[in-house]
Amino acid sequence: TGALNRNGFAAEMGQRSPNGKMLANTTLMIIDLDNFKRINDSRGHDAGDAVLRETAQVIHKNTRTTDRFIRWGGEEFILFCENTNAQQALVIAEKIRAAIETMTINYHEDAISVTVSIGLGVAVAQENFDDLFHRTDQALYRAKHMGRNCVVLSDNTTPT
């Protein structure tokens, strides 16, 4: 996919934030392919791999050079954006969501369409990555429950 893996991202985060704290206006997006299991089950894992590659290319094309793009696992990607407020992040996330919704993946004789749900979280000053991830994951969960193919911004309250 051309995305960093978790280990590569962890090493980078250790250099960027040795104390584990995020700067304010650090944005995290969790991008999850909707109903991906259905693609693998009905068309096979090679088709699923093609979907992952094409989706990753669309995400790459719609991000900035300073953003970090990570394959988190399975059909889940993360976009880590520094110096990005909520308004800017919503524009980026919606641009990615819309671009993926309109793409068609041609796999053999089959045309595959996909959508993504995106959870979005913006760090408050000195928030740790795990808390930001948890809030962002909750936003993704809400996006899935709202019917998928949407972007949901988390609240800015860190868990206690």
What digits encode the pLDDT tens for the residues 39-58?
999 999 999 999 999 999 99
Comparing 3 with 146, which gets the higher pLDDT? 146
3-class DSSP state of 82:
coil
pLDDT for residue 115? 98
By C-alpha distance, which of 114, 148, 109, 138 is closest to 28?
138
Pairwise CA distance, residues 117 & 144, whole Å = 6
Helix (H) / strand (E) element for 136: namely: helix 129-145
Give the pLDDT confidence score for residue 157 in this predicted structure: 56
Q: With a cut of 60, say whether residue 1 has pLDDT above it.
A: yes
Q: What are phi and psi of 116, to 5 degrees?
A: -130, 150
* Residue 45, token pair as written in the block: 């894992």
Least reliable range by pLDDT among 12-16, 39-43, 134-138: 12-16
Q: Residue 22's pLDDT is what?
A: 87
pLDDT confidence of 74, banded at 50, 70, 90?
confident
pLDDT of residue 5: 86
The three-state (H, E, C) secondary structure of 38-62, written as one string: HHHHHHCHHHHHHHHHHHHHHHHHC
Please tell me the predicted confidence (pLDDT) of residue 159: 46
Is residue 82's pLDDT more than 80? yes
Query: Beta 151-153 vs 116-122: how paired, if at all?
Result: parallel
Taking the C-alpha atoms of residue 152 and residue 120, their distance in angstroms, rounded to an integer, is 6
What pLDDT sits at residue 87? 95
**Residues classed as catalytic:** 75
Q: Which residues contact 55 (CB under 8 A, 6 or more apart)?
A: 33, 77, 100, 103, 114, 116
By three-state DSSP, how is residue 72 classified?
strand
pLDDT-based confidence at residue 160 (cuts at 50, 70, 90): very low
